[in-house]
Amino acid sequence: MAELYWLKRPICHRGLHDAAKGIIENSASAVKAALCHGYAVEVDLQCAAGNKPVVFHDATLDRLTNETGPVAERDVEALGEITLKNSTDRIVSLTDLLALVGGYVPLLLEVKSTWRGDGQFEAHIAEALASYPGPVAVMSFDPHSVAAFREAAPALPRGLIADRFNDTDYWRDLSPLQRFAMRHLLTSTFARPHFIAYDVKALPAFAPLIAKTVFGLPLLTWTVRTQADRERALRYADAMIFEGIEP
């Protein structure tokens, strides 16, 4: 897709956040800081009640707010009343995020999959993005989520995120065969991604480099936090998703 040229520029991870300054990840303040610098923005979308999207990383509220429990048990309106820890920001809906960015910079949305495979969460996201005028793309670790976007919004740029999947505790719900297939991007056969986002610590790796050099898919890498990461990203990837450093 020729229009994905914008994916080949540095993208700030969860907005341009700095907790020491009260600018929390995935907050409106972090997005505004990125806008001020002209950076492309990556944020996470978590599933609220009714399969509606909110801008939040974790499946539970505990780490980032003074509330507890699953995000999925509360609706978007209730979540929008919750303040992020050490901040004046509240949890942002996807609709409010789109209004805030307004196409001024490119927007990359990591979809935190429900892993249910029913496509309802993805359909709500696609609906919200249908009339958005700016450059935007979605991506997910879950290949079935990526495939759901292929059905719900074929023209919406979609990416497949992967790494080595060596953390068997974190990925305990995936079988060894699933982790193998996802690590080697074998799931691309049905997800049909327009780009790949691969862990910088895992580069170089055969599968993402084949996707880049043979199939022409843009290769993003995450999360670039050190000079060594930066050098690796510049060598192997088209663009870096960075945090805590100058790209």
**pLDDT digits 0-9 by tens, 37-94:** 999 999 999 999 999 999 999 999 999 999 999 999 999 999 999 999 999 999 999 9
* Model confidence band, residue 3 (pLDDT cutoffs 50, 70, 90): low
Task: Give the Cα separation of 111 and 144 in Å (integer).
Answer: 11
What pLDDT shows up at residue 164? 96
DSSP 91: P
Task: Give the Cα separation of 38 and 193 in Å (integer).
Answer: 26
Mean of pLDDT values over 15-31: 97
Task: Give the Cα separation of 194 and 146 in Å (integer).
Answer: 10
Long-range contacts of 113-116, Cβ-Cβ distance < 8 Å, separation of 24 or more: 113/140, 113/141, 113/142, 113/144, 113/145, 114/47, 114/51, 114/72, 115/142, 115/144, 115/173
* pLDDT tens, position by position, 82-104: 999 999 999 999 999 999 999 99
* Contact (CB, 8 A) for 48 and 54: yes
What pLDDT shows up at residue 4? 82
Which domains, and CATH codes, for the chain? 2-43+104-242 (3.20.20.190)
Tokens of 110: 């990591």
- Report the DSSP beta bridge partners of residue 224: 242
Mean of pLDDT values over 149-159: 97
Kindly tell me if the per-residue pLDDT of 2 is higher than 60. no
What pLDDT shows up at residue 5? 85
Mean of pLDDT values over 190-210: 97
- Mean residue pLDDT across the chain: 96
* pLDDT tens, position by position, 103-147: 999 999 999 999 999 999 999 999 999 999 999 999 999 999 999
Other Cβ atoms within 10 Å of 2 Cβ, number: 4
Element (H, E) at 32: helix 28-37
